[in-house]
Amino acid sequence: MACSLGPALLPLLLLSAGAAPGPQWPVQRVPVIWAQHTEDRAPPHFLRAPQLELSTSCGPACHRQTAPPSDSALRLRLSYETLHSSGRLTETAVGIYGFDANSVTQTPASRSRPKRQIFGHDGRFSIVGQDFLLNYPFSTVVKVSTGCSGTLVGERHVLTAAHCVHDGKNYVKGAQRLRVGFLKQQKDPSGRNGTSGRPDRMKFQWIRVKRTHVPKGWIKGTANDIGMDYDYALLELKKAHRRRHMKLGISPSAALLPGKRVQFSGFDTDRPGQLVYRFCQASDETYDLLYQRCDAQPGASGSGVYARMWSRTRQRWERKVIGIFSGHQRVDLSGSPQEFNVAVRITPLKYAQICYWITGNYVDCREG
């Protein structure tokens, strides 16, 4: 049965301004990533349909068996392709400064058994009423025209999952004419301006995408190897959206999150026209991936996973995107089948890359 957001959930979303500082965002110096050279590539064919749900079989165990990447491997994975709305495709090689590949460590596995996409009671909440839908943080959630979700992370930028625009081999059908949908109030035909908050009083207003950035780690890899670690993409809109956007942050360890809890909202396909919110405890992690208990359905892919913590440098509570919801993993661990929902963690290198895509320089990307 669908649930709606009510007053009982407000403390989870909107902590009082006078609350005493609790869990704090770690202060980190971010490595530098910069573009070295850009070359044209052959235009893609756009033959395949997008995957609304990414389902893979490589879980925490196989990720922990992977040796730390070399400097050259990191440069290759963090180089990126850019698809322009004209159909032009370019590839950009990057340089990396101030990062030690040996610092890529893996976190010991926990023994908790996470839920699959929907396991037992459905813990999702449909957000209804314009007072919620059109206000922060729910107003930062957008719909991608290929069927996924995304999060506003800049005045013209949307963070989403790479598999929503690229299947690992080629760009999917619809990626060239990509659009981003903003949920808006629809006028009531009776002339009452649609203030009832009913789901059928909301509609999407679309903005075209100018450029799409996808890391080579996704394109070079596969979902059963390193590819899922790089399942993120940044969309640059043709015009500014004029909404408050979410801050980008480096993912702390799950143990440092308030209540070990993460949150995200998206447009799940089983609830058409509704924005769906969920929160849950993170249950396990590797350096690049976060395994969690949040219920989700296709269409939620690309949603920004976020947390709210105290900023020591700014002396205020800040909500930041720390991951991108990717999909579903079915893993056979020692003969015991286990199922996970997985998000890509924003590591220091990924933060540096995404921030560079947004700002065009690394000077403004040194603090995560």
**What per-residue confidence (pLDDT) applies to 8?**
45
Mean pLDDT of the chain: 81
**What per-residue confidence (pLDDT) applies to 145?**
96
* Nearest alpha carbon to residue 352 among 111, 128, 78: 78
Phi and psi at 33, nearest 5°, equal -125, 130
Catalytic residue among 63, 157, 163, 241: 163
What's the pLDDT tens digit per position in 91-129? Answer: 999 999 988 877 775 443 333 333 345 555 677 788 777
Higher pLDDT, 237 or 242: 237
Q: Which helix (H) or strand (E) holds 248?
A: strand 247-248
9 within some domain:
no
> How many other CB atoms are found less than 10 A from the CB of residue 42?
6
5 within some domain:
no
The CATH number of whichever domain residue 29 belongs to comes to 2.40.10.10
301 is catalytic: yes
Enumerate residues 6+ apart whose C-beta is below 8 A from 214: 80, 81, 82, 83, 162, 165, 166, 233
Catalytic residue among 4, 55, 225, 311: 225
6 within some domain:
no
Q: What is the DSSP letter of 103?
A: G
Q: Number of folded domains in the chain?
A: 1
40 is catalytic: no
* Nearest alpha carbon to residue 105 among 139, 142, 66: 66
10 within some domain:
no
11 within some domain:
no
2 within some domain:
no
Domain span at residue 269 reads 21-101+112-365
201 within some domain:
yes
174 within some domain:
yes
163 is catalytic: yes
